[in-house]
Every structure is written in C-alpha cells, then in structure tokens.
Amino acid sequence: MKKIVLLFTLLFIAYIAKAQDYLISAGGTVTACAENFYDGGGYGGDYGANENYIMTFHSNSANPSLTHLRFGFNAFDIEPGDTLIAYDGSSISANVLGKYNNNNLPPAYIFATINNLSGDLTFQFKSNGSFNSPGWWASFVCTPACQEINSLYHPTLTVPAPDDSNYIDICIGDPITFAARGSGPAFPQSGLNYLQDSTNCTFLWDFGDGTTATGQIVTHTYTVVRGYDVALTITDMRGCVNSNYLGGRVRISKTPFAQINPLQDICSSADTTYVTLGYNSSSIVVVEPISSQQSASQIFDSTMFIPDGPNCPQQCYNTFVTFMAFAPNATITNVNDILSICVNMEHSFTGDLGFRIICPNGQNVQLDPNIHSGGAYMGQPYGGGSHDMYDNGCDPANNPYGSGWTYCWSQIYPQHGTLDQLSNGGGTIDSTNTVNHTNYITPNNSLAGLIGCPLNGTWNIEICDDYGIDNGYIFWWELNLDPSLLPVTWGYQVPIDTIFWGGSFFSIINDSTIMIIPDSGGIFPYTVTVIDVFGCSYDTTLYVQVVQTPDVDLGPDTTLCGNNLSYTLDAGVADQYWWSTGNTTQSQPVTDDGIFIVHVANLSSISNTQCWAFDTVTIKVLEQPAIVDLGPDICSTVPITLDAGNNTGPFQYNWSTNQHTQTIVVSTSGNYSVSVAEEFGYNCETTDNIYVTILPEPTIDIGEDTSICSFNYMGLRVTDINNYLDQFSYSYLWATDPVSNIHGQNTRNVEMGCLTPGLEYTISVTVTGCTSVGDTRKVISKNCELELYNIITPNGDSQNDVFKVKGIENFPNSNMKIYNRWGKKIYESDNYGADDSNLWDGGNEADGVYFYVLTVNYGDFWDCVEVLNYHGTVTLFR
C-alpha cells in the first residue's frame, strides 16, 4: 500500500467506503465531492516513468456554500526526483500552493484559498525516468471558502513550554497543559470575509496515545514512557480546518535505575569499596538510558505457563501487545501489512495446540486449529517431554520449563508448511530463522482476514490446549507490522546530565564512582541522584553493611618491676579472641616476661564477613633494687665522697653527673642525684638526691687601723689571700663599737661615714661558709676645721701670694666666689684648694677689700651635715 507519512484526517473517514477513485493519469476536470485521488498507479500500484499529467477538481455540491475543495493526503511516497504541484485555481496558470515529494511533504490539508473565487484546485504530476514509487492517496471534500487557520502552541500558556522544535520533554507522571493560540497568527485572515477566534472555533487535541480532548486549553497526563505525536485540529464556524500540522511531540523520561547490585560487607578503617554507576551490568548501580523508538513491532516479553488443557481449569491463554505509533484510525489494508507473528515457546505434542491472532476491533484469524494429531515438539521441553505431562499438575512450580525456540507465521517470507503439516510424526519442528527469513509457518487461514483491523490498539494472541497429557511454556511473542505504515519514524534517548552522591565516609573518584572508606561500623545508606537532560531527578538508595574493625591496643611495650606482679592485658570489646597463650577471652594475665600476641575479630550479622585486628606487646620484668640513701644535705670545706650503696645483683648506677660508679667525689656545690636499676628507662629504679655545699675556709683581711674626718667616709672590703671570696658564695656580718652606719650590714663591701668626732671605732666582720672566720681594725674619727686668711700680698716673694684656706683639702668640691665692693663676681672655683693652681692670686684686680663666699659640703657623699657658707673679706695688697 502507499507509505503513510501524514496523519489521517478524521473528517474523511466516513467517506472512504463509498468514495470514487480518480487517477491523475485520466487528466481533465473532475466535478465531484468526497472522493479519492491517486497517482497513475492507483491503490497498491506505483506511478510510471516520465509522466506529466494535469487534473483539475471542481465542487459539485448542491450546497451553494460548499464552493471550495480541500484535499487531505492519507499516504504519500514520491521520489525526490519527481514532483506533485498544487495550483490555487482552475489551471496551471494559477498561483502555486506548493511542490511536494519526499523531501517536501504536503501539509495536512491543501485547500483552495478564500481569494480563489472558483474554489478549484489543479494538480500536475511530473516524474523522471527512474525510481518510481507508490505515489499518493488523497481524499477530498467540498467546503465553504475558508480563511487560513494555523494550528500553533500558545507560547506562554503551554506548560511546560515546547522547545524550538515543538518538543515537550517531561518526567513520567507530570501533567502537560496544552494550549493553542486563539487569535493572531492562528487566524491570519480573520476579518477578511468573516471573523475567526477562539470563541467561534473548536479545538480537538489528539494526544497520540489513543485519547483526545477538546478545548483551547487542556491538561493531559501520559502513563506510558515513549514518544508521542500530538495533533491539533482547529475547526471554525464554517467547518474550515487548519491547513498545517501542529508538529508537536512529547518525549517522556522515567527513572533510569535498572538494577542495584548488592555491595559486599566491608570492615571499617581497613577496607574500601567502590560504588559505580554505569550502563554495564557489572556496575553496582546499573542504569539504562531511557529511550523510545516508534516501532512497527511490539513484543510480549513474559514467561507464561500453558498447562494441560482438559485437566486444568483453563484451556485458552491470552497475551497482549499494544500499538500507539500509527496514524489515528489507520488500518490494515493489505495482507502484506503484516510481516510476521512470532512465538518463542516449548511444548510437547504440538497437535494439542491451537493459535489465533485477534486485532483491536475483534477481527481474528486462526493461525492453527486444535486438530489433536501430530506428535512433534516445539522447542525442547524439560526432560525430553516426560516432565511435560499432566502427572505434574496445573501448578507451574511443579513443571520446570525447557528451552524455547522461535516459530513465526507469515505470508510474505518463505514458508515450509502449516503447523498441522509440520507437527505430523515426531521429532522437533525446525525453528524460524528470523535473520535469513527462512522456515516461516503458513497460517491456516489467510491473514487477509485482518484487513480493516485498526493498527493502533491492543492485539492479542490466543493459545489453546484442549487435549490431554502435554503442557509447555510461551516465553514471548511478537507482532511485526510493516514499518512503512508508520507516519514518521522517530525516537529519542534521554542521557543522564548530572550525578550527585549522598552519604558518609566517601570520596568522589569521578562523577560516576565513589570510594567508601568507613571509619566506624554500622549500616550506611548511600543515595545517588541523577538528573537527566530533561531536568528530571531520580534517586535510589543502597546500603553498605560495615563491620566495625576491632580497636585492639595492648599498649606500648612495658617493663614491670618486682616479682609480685598484678598486671593484665586487655584486648578490648570484640566478638572473638585468640591469644598466643591459647587464651580466648578478652583479658590475659601477665606473670612473666614474654611477647604477647592477640588476634580479635568482629563478625557481620548479615554475612560471613570477619573483620580482624591484632596487636603485639612485649612485657619485661625487672628486679627492683634496695633503697638508696645518700644521707642529709651536707656542707663541707673540702671535697666529699657520695656513696649510692652496694646493691647486690645486676644493678647499674646513673648519677646526675653522668657517672656510673657506686661512689663519686664532689668538689662543687650543687644538687646530686643517683638512680639505681637493673636497666634504666623502665620506671623500675630507686633514686635519692642530696644537696652538697662546698665552701673552703678563707683567710680574710679588712685593712690596717686609720683615722678620717668625722664628716668624711671610707670604703671597706673583705679580702682573702686565696681569692675564695671571689669564687664561692659566703655570708658577711659587720659590727662596730661604738655602733656606726655599717653595723649589721651583710655585704662584702661597705662604706663607713658620719662618725662622731674624736671617737675610736673598732670594726669587725664575720665571714661564714661551712665555717666562720673574722677580722678587726680600728678607725679614729678626727674633728677637721677650716682657717681662712684675710689678706694676700701677691708680690712674687712666695709669701702669702694667694688666698689660702687651711684644711680645705678635707672638703673636696668646695665652691669659692670673690666679689668686688660693688658686688660684681670677679672669681669662682668649684673645687677650691684641690691644688695651688686654682687659688685666687688677685688676678688683675686693684688693691683693696674684696668679699668672698665659700660653700663647703661637710661629709661630702654621706651628707652628714648641711652645706655651710663662709662669708668674709680679704684685702688685696701688693
């Protein structure tokens, strides 16, 4: 038949049965309504080579309003080198509506435009000399003069919005709101002769799944994952319909998760495992890309038991396949539309069986009747046939299945007889080779009995076993229709766009693989979420049983002290224990030296997984030494010997001086300690310490007897001939009689001053180290006074040439100022009398009386008395 490439027009269906056929090869003008229009080959034939035919169509409707013609193409197959041209008028001089072939398919309808007053349509067909094709089949009716109507999605009210190719992509279960434009581009000629808008037009939606709805805005939910062609027919108040296809398609996604392979139990902190997501069946999370292909073949893929007929409650069994990919209302029009009907099954004694194919409207054809003769097998029954007998009852659980072979009925591929003919005798009927197309079975009744059956809908194969003893299984069956019946062959695949992982203790290797590294036990969920290119999100969760690896820690290698031990090793909490001593409990007492090894295990509550850990510890027992006593702290003027005692046994000595003998000699002060042990570093040691002070006895001296002015001071320092005082730390105590300012001081150096004039002081010091020594001296306190002269005669005779102050040497840093009689200072010295060079000799001053002011600091550093000023006159006479 003609290749169906366009949607079938519902308005034409009522006319098909009684329509007259017109072939373009007849030429001329046809005055008619509601007829069929074919290429020169007619229905079922191809057009010829080098054709050039013209045919004009004119309305003969008795209804004066039905002046115009409209053509709808039900089938169209014209080679690209050939062309069908449509003209909007009564001849080929009219405007060209379109030029069509398989590279440029005609629209849903071709109609005479409203500007075409004749309402006629003219067609011209031209073919070249090669590759002739089936041509076309169109139906035409008479209609009123129609304004243009365009079937278009509303761009904002359609939810989800279609893409640029008019595809709507959704997730399974999501509703779609289909909305059509009700003005504007939908009715570009509205108002030319009459008004068109959504208020005076009807909108018929065909969702492609066998359901329809009316209304400008409708909502629909698809229940099967596949691709759907969506059609919209808009009819205005004159009965005029849209000339274009909506071209809408729906693509549906569903979860891609096909299988979750279980993960093995693992041990915490010891094992790692990988979770992979992929298309390979070896992946942990197996995904299958969601895809759909409009197909002319449908398969029932599920095993079904065919028990022994008369001895079981049911004799006939039905399995179903459903088609929705064909054009609406398309039917079987030729026996060759059915390529084959295949079953994959096993059954002993084929004569028990009958097969019948039933189409969606109930029409049916007997493929093989129940003739109750013929002992050949189909496939390989379990046990060679002896187990396919009624003796095993009607329950499939008691009837193991064998191996299925494929058998196909067809009237177009090479056949080797009916099933009745092939089942005569014994053996196994040879299967059909569906690759090389051999060994097909001839149907008992012609498949022409299915002409008129709807292509879309549910088809049914019925298998009856009404004869005793044998049974079998059907594993699948398939109905294969001619793919050229499909209006358009298209498909899609929904790739995965993004993968997210959720859970704990994992790191991402790549977007499809994670590595689980658990550090604790438990059952951990891991969720993988995939988002496909349609934006659909799907997730699944798998669980990993993690057995807690035992945490066994016997501690560091340990040295124990003494022979009376009370020490136990603890292997921690676990399910099982194996000690090197043979012990199988958690604790292991220690009574002697040795290396102790323990293996511990935790067991999975789900599988046989055992998670092991072990630890090793070395225990050493040392002898504890006796008490060590270095005695009390000691002070000595000479080096002394320290003794750690003579401990019997394999003991060692470790002094703080880094010496390792029983005794040591110390000559310096300090804290000394000793440790005695069999081996050091194991806390099995006996220790003691002592503070030793070594201070030699000095020979001291604080100086000879002397005298000083009572208001002056003198420094005192303790010295010794051996310089011990410079090397060691001693204590000092000064005393004076009578008491002076240094009495009771405790430093090596003191300064004595502010003495009482005329007294003799006995000074003593005691120096104490480990012993005490002393020394004494005397100091007499003198009463020192000043005597000032009142005349100088600087005449060079070395007699009274300068202004002298007798006793000034006892008052260093005294200040002298000389003033003339008018009060002008003519001389000043801050250390008067320190030597003769700074004594006043009158200078260049004239003879006369001058005034002096002498400021004397009694006691100097000690400030024993206040500063005194001496005032007077001195006469200069040369």
CB 358 within 8 A of CB 366: no
pLDDT of the residue at 217: 97
pLDDT of the residue at 381: 85
pLDDT of the residue at 450: 93
The CATH number of the domain covering residues in 167-253? 2.60.40.10
Nearest to 782 by CA among 710, 685, 872, 839: 710
Superfamily of domain 10-143: Spermadhesin, CUB domain (2.60.120.290)
pLDDT of the residue at 14: 35
Which CATH code of 3.50.50.60, 2.60.40.10, 2.40.170.20, 1.10.1060.10 fits the domain covering 634-694? Answer: 2.60.40.10
The CATH number of the domain covering residues in 787-876? 2.60.40
The residues that bridge with 805 in the sheet, in sequence order, are 788
pLDDT of the residue at 392: 67
Alpha helices in 662-713 (DSSP H): none
Provide DSSP, 210-276.
Answer: S-EEESSEEEE---S-S-EEEEEEEE-TTS-B-SS---EEEEEE---EEEEPPPPPEETTT--EEEE
CB 364 within 8 A of CB 455: no
pLDDT of the residue at 295: 66
What SS3 class is residue 364?
strand
Distance CA 255, CA 540 (A): 9
Tokens standing for residue 670 = 């300090």
- The architecture (CATH level 2) of 297-485 comes to Sandwich (2.60)
List all residues 6 or more positions away from 823 whose beta carbon is below 8 Å from its beta carbon: 851
pLDDT of the residue at 865: 57
Neighbours of 326 (CB within 10 A): 20
Same fold, 10-143 and 787-876: no
Q: pTM to 2 decimals?
A: 0.55
CB 302 within 8 A of CB 580: no
Q: Which residue has the tokens 């049914």?
A: 460
Average pLDDT per 10 consecutive residues for the chain, totaling 878 residues: 41 48 95 94 89 96 90 88 96 96 88 92 95 90 92 96 94 96 94 92 90 95 89 91 88 93 87 91 91 72 79 81 74 90 89 90 90 82 56 75 91 92 85 92 93 88 83 87 76 92 92 90 93 94 91 88 78 94 94 92 86 92 82 92 82 92 92 89 84 94 91 89 92 95 94 88 95 95 85 88 86 88 92 84 91 78 63 90
pLDDT of the residue at 384: 60
Q: Which residue has the tokens 């005298």?
A: 707
Domain ranges of the chain: 10-143, 167-253, 262-291+496-548, 297-485, 558-622, 634-694, 700-782, 787-876
CA separation, residue 111 to residues 70, 102, 145, 541, 726 (Å) = 4, 20, 9, 58, 133
- The architecture (CATH level 2) of 262-291+496-548 comes to Sandwich (2.60)
- Give the domain 700-782 fold: Immunoglobulin-like (2.60.40)
Distance CA 793, CA 805 (A): 15
Burial-class residue 105 by CB neighbours within 10 Å (0-12, 13-18, 19+): middle
